[in-house]
Amino acid sequence: MRSLHPLNKMKYLQIEDTVNKLFEKYNLKELPVDVENFARFVNLDIFYRDIHGCNKVVLVKPNYLIISNFEDEIKKRIEIAHVIGHYVIHSKLSHRIMEIHHKIFDEEADHFVRALLIPLISVNLELSREDMINIYKVDRCTLDTRLSDLGCGDFNEKKINML
């Protein structure tokens, strides 16, 4: 595994493990992962509201998720997954600590996003990046970072060489 952003390997594996346990617990197998349903599994109540006309997902403690105005389905999925990540990984932390370490917590939540939307067990390197983007309903950057974290960042080049 290559160096993983500012996240240490231990934390990275813990997040992966947390997501895998949730997949097992809720028997999730379908792709793309339904993030709104997943939010409900982890006991978040979802409300759809217009927050000043901006794209936003807001976590209201203890367990409300407010989703506002997304036209781009992929951005919406990623935002929701990010906030679920904070809720699952950081629920025991106080607001004060969250503010101090904001950047590292965001990295952790972003890793949660990739682990949730691109489940390790489902990754099939026979598929092209385009196919994967369609299957997982993620953007290219999320997919590329995930593949790179899994040590398969260069698989497409190999594929191209074989053609």
Determine if 106 is a binding residue for Zn ion (CB under 5 A): yes
Amino acid code (one letter) for 18: T
The separation between CA 57 and the C-alpha centre of its own chain, rounded to angstroms, equals 14
Determine if 107 is a binding residue for Zn ion (CB under 5 A): no
**Min separation Cβ 82 and Zn ion, Å:** 6
**Residues 109-148, interacting with Zn ion (CB under 5 A):** 109
Tokens 């617990």 found at: 25
User: What mask, x for binding Zn ion by CB under 5 A, covers residues 55 to 84?
Assistant: ------------------------------
Please work out the total of residues on this chain that contact Zn ion, with binding judged by CB under 5 A.
2
Q: Report how far residue 34's alpha carbon sits from residue 141's, in angstroms, rounded to the nearest whole number.
A: 20
Nearer to Zn ion, 109 or 138 (CB): 109
Contact 81, 112 (CB under 8 A): yes
Pairing of strands 64-68, 45-48: parallel
Stretch that binds Zn ion, among 5-13, 34-42, 98-106, 119-127 (CB under 5 A): 98-106
**Min separation Cβ 102 and Zn ion, Å:** 7
Count Cβ atoms below 10 Å from residue 129 Cβ, excluding itself.
Answer: 14
Nearer to Zn ion, 39 or 109 (CB): 109
Q: Report how far residue 131's alpha carbon sits from residue 126's, in angstroms, rounded to the nearest whole number.
A: 10
Residues of the shown chain interacting with Zn ion in the complex, contacts defined by CB under 5 A: 106, 109
